[in-house]
Structures are given as C-alpha cells and as structure tokens.
C-alpha cells in the first residue's frame, strides 16, 4: 500500500530507527515490567504511519479504505465503518437504532436493552445515553458471559435490544442469544471489542449481530492507538450508522469529496428549499466520531499481523492454563464457551471463597513483582458511583457479578508476552501459591 514516491530515504531512516530503538527490547526479570497488554508492532506500522503523515491527507483517505477493506475481508462482512474508538462504535450502534428511518423497529426512550453488569462501561453506558433502560442479567463464572438461561425472565414488552460483549475474548452463547433475539424480534449488538479473531461454530465473532463493534485501543487484538470500527451487513443500517458518525449528515461523501451521490442539488429534504446542498442536509442528530487516516494506516499494517496475534494469544492462554490447572483448588479457571475458539483478550481467574488468600492479596503480590494484573473492568457496574442515580432494572440477582467484582482478576495474553516474561511470572506465582500448599 505504501506509495513508491520519493520517500525511500525516509523509509530507510525509519527502518534504522526501528531497529535501534524497538527491535531488541531486553527483558530483565524483576526490573522490567510484565505488562498485561501493549502495542506489538514492527517497522511496518511506523512506515505506514509516516506514509500517511507524508500524504498529509489526515482525515479518512486511502489508508482508511485499505484498513476497512482488510477488516471486511477478514470478517467477511459487507460494511465497515471506522470510528475513533470502540466506545464510540458502541455509542453509534445504539444511537443508530434510534433512527426514524427504522420506522417501527427503532428504539425509543424507555425501551429496554438486555445486557450484563460485569462489563466495561462503554458497553452499557450508550444504552443510558440514548434514554434507554439497561436490564442486567447475571453471568456465569468461568465463561464470564451472560447466563443465557436467565435472559428470557428478564424480557418485558419494552425489551427491544440485546447488547453483549464477548467477555475477554470468550464468545457468549451466540446460538442461544441469536435464537432469543429472533424469537422476540430484538436487535442484537455484538460487542466484539475484546474478541477480534475469536471463532464460534466455525464463524468469526462480530459477524452474528445486526451490528458488531471493535476496539483498537492498545490493549486490544490490534491497535491504532485510539480507534474502533463497526461491522454490519445491512447496507441501509450501515448508511444510518455512517450518518450518525458523520454529524448526522444525509450525504455519504467522504472528506474531500462532493456530489458522490450525483444528486447534490436536486433533492427535497424536510422543509428545506428544493435542491438544498445535500452535503449540508442532516437527517440524524449525529456526532463526529471518525478515525484519522494515520490511525487507519497503523490499523492496516496491524491487520496483516492479526492472524499471528490471535494464535499467540491462544498459545499464551494455554501456557497460563497449564500452570493454574495445578491450583484449581484456589481458583475458578476460565472456560471457553462450547463450540468456540476464543482469541483470548486475557486469562481470567476467580479466587475461590475458601482460598487462603484474596484476589487483592495475590494481585498486590504480583504487582509488587512488576507483573501487571487487572480486575474485570467495572466489576458490577451498578455499584459504580456513576450508577447511583441512574435508571436501570436488574433481572433476578447479580450474585455471580458480585463475585467477579470481589474476586476476579486477569493476566495478559497479549502477543508481546515473551517466554522469559511468562517463565518469570510462573516462578513468582508458584512461589506465592506453593507457600499455601506447604501449610
């Protein structure tokens, strides 16, 4: 994709810079940090990014086109809409479903949306931002996904949508959820932000929902720094999403384009005068949540590495699992959902109630040894300060969600984890846990 203009000298300098500054990063046990996630790249990402800068087009351009195309091929999905974050992608997904263009299928204030409280905020908050009501259903421990047996009891005549993430890359029970969404005529938004590359029933996640979302924040499967995307097979829905992304504009011209539709001055919209410039016709109350071409350039280079990243994540998961299966008296180990092959975002563990240490004990210990861990996002989101005065409904209890809040943490599986880092971490984990075994 890089243009063969007179840029060769710059390219050579970049390769030189990469080799000197990034290529051989030494890991020193006890001194270097074992991050749970991070950017994995080589000179290609730098070359693509600089190429985009040299183009100085900045807004969506040739790299956005290239990145979108690679994503659409990878997922086998017709439409990709790039966004400035995965959170924006979720916001757009929910907002688009409120469009008048969807007639009686549109979401209206007060409609309910099934989701889980053991989530990252940006899966849940767009529900509230669109004046809809989240209905929280409890999760299963091990898969950390929605308990599908409890969804039906959470439905009401106001339920219009389901939004769920594939927690930490582990697909939710898509078959059960899609069956329910079909049975009750509910929209399904598949938050695929943590799961790009995961497989369910031999098909990639992010291809099952009416809309699916992706995140390219550095912790994710590929990164553009900030960044995200929406995947959608329905052309009309994709147009609505794009409109919401681009200020609510009716016209679908990209930056630097005009009259793409060929009907710029010959249409009637709302109560505007006939022929009002289509470029300035707004049919939705939209945002500006677009990605830049520089981000897309990095994304395009990352896409070429995605299959190997996914394999590395799976491998790292197995390495952790081989260690922790020896300590299943202390931990609830992660379970891949039936018929799935997760591209694990992380390796989640729940400290059992009768373990001789708490989640905070072990994570404090690991962090003091420079081994990063994370709690599972918001824990139980309804316990967060932002939810104290927020309208929501809980279906049944959130017993397991509270367990996650109190006792779950995760280690990284990202492809930048080297064998040395893993060996060092295993040594520290075994040292910590074997103390209890010997008591």
**93 in contact with other proteins (CB under 8 A):** no
CA of 298: how far to CAs of 43, 80, 285, in Å? 11, 16, 30
According to the binding rule CB under 8 A, does residue 262 interact with other proteins?
Answer: yes
Among 40-48, 123-131, 172-180, 259-267, the segment contacting other proteins (CB under 8 A): 259-267
Residues constituting the chain: 439
1 by Cβ neighbours in 10 Å (0-12 / 13-18 / 19+) ranks as middle
Q: Which of 79, 95, 198, 223 binds other proteins (CB under 8 A)?
A: 79
Nearer Cβ to other proteins (69/339):
69
Tell me how far apart the alpha carbons of residues 40 and 289 are, in angstroms, rounded to a whole number. 25
Contact partners, residue 20, CB within 8 Å, separation at least 6: none
Give the Cα-Cα-Cα angle 288, 290, 293 (nearest 5 degrees).
145
Minimum CB distance to other proteins smaller for 20 or for 56: 56
> What is the SS3 assignment for 258?
coil
Give residue 375's region: left, alpha or beta (phi > 0; psi -120 to 50): beta
Decide if residue 76 touches other proteins (CB under 8 A): no
Secondary structure of residue 376 in the 3-state scheme: coil
55 binds other proteins, rule: CB under 8 A: yes
Our CB check for other proteins shows the closer of 109 and 262 to be 262
Under the criterion CB under 8 A, does residue 385 sit at the interface with other proteins? no
Span of 72-80, 109-117, 162-170, 431-439 interacting with other proteins by CB under 8 A = 72-80
Q: Which of 14, 34, 68, 359 is in the footprint of other proteins by CB under 8 A?
A: 68
**Does the footprint of other proteins cover residue 235 (CB under 8 A)?**
yes
Residue 278 appears among annotated catalytic residues: no
DSSP codes, 322-358 = HHHGGGTTTEEPP-PPTTEE---SEEEEEE-TTSSS-
Asked if 254 interacts with other proteins (CB under 8 A), we say yes
**Choice from 65, 152, 372, 430 touching other proteins (CB under 8 A):** 65
Q: Is residue 372 within the footprint of other proteins (CB under 8 A)?
A: no
Token pair for 16 = 């030189």
Q: Which residues are catalytic?
A: 220
Residues near other proteins (CB under 8 A) are 3, 55, 57, 61-62, 65, 68-69, 72, 78-80, 235-236, 239, 252, 254, 256-257, 259-266
């Amino acid at each position: 994709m890089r243009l063969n203009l007179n840029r060769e000298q710059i390219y050579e300098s970049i390769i030189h810079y990469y080799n000197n500054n990034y290529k051989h990063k030494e890991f020193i046990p006890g001194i270097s940090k074992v991050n749970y996630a991070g950017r994995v790249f080589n000179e290609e990402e730098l070359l693509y990014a600089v190429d985009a800068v040299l183009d100085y087009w900045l807004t969506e351009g040739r790299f956005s086109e290239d990145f979108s195309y690679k994503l659409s091929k990878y997922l086998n999905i017709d439409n990709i809409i790039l966004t400035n974050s995965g959170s924006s992608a979720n916001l757009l997904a929910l907002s688009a479903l409120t469009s008048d263009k969807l007639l009686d299928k549109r979401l209206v204030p007060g409609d309910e949306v099934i989701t889980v409280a053991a989530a990252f905020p940006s899966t849940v908050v767009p529900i509230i931002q669109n004046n809809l009501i989240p209905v929280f259903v409890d999760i299963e421990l091990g898969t950390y996904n929605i308990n599908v047996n409890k969804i039906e009891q959470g439905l009401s005549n106001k339920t219009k949508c389901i939004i769920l993430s594939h927690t930490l890359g582990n697909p939710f029970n898509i078959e059960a959820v899609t069956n329910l969404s079909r049975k009750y005529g509910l929209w399904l938004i598949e938050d695929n932000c943590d799961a790009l590359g995961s497989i369910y029933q031999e098909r990639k996640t992010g291809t099952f929902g009416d809309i699916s979302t992706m995140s390219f924040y550095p912790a994710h499967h590929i990164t553009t720094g900030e960044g995200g995307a929406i995947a959608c097979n329905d052309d009309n829905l994709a147009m609505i999403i794009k409109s919401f992304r681009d200020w609510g504009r009716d016209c679908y011209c990209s930056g630097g384009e005009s009259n793409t539709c060929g009907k710029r001055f010959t249409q009637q919209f709302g109560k505007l005068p006939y022929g009002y410039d289509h470029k300035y016709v707004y049919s939705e109350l939209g945002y500006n949540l677009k990605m830049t071409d520089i981000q897309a350039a990095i994304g395009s280079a990352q896409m070429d590495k995605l299959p190997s990243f996914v394999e590395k994540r799976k491998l790292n998961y197995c390495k952790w699992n081989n260690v922790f299966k020896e300590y299943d008296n202390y931990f609830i180990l992660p379970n891949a959902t039936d018929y799935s092959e997760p591209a694990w975002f992380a390796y989640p563990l729940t400290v059992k109630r009768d373990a001789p240490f708490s989640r905070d004990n072990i994570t404090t210990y690991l962090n003091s040894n420079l081994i990063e861990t994370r709690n599972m996002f918001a824990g139980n989101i309804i316990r967060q300060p932002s939810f104290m005065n927020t309208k929501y409904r809980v279906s049944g209890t959130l017993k397991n969600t509270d367990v996650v809040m109190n006792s779950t943490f995760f280690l990284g599986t990202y492809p930048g984890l080297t064998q040395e880092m893993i060996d060092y971490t295993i040594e520290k984990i075994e040292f910590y846990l074997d103390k209890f075994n010997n008591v």
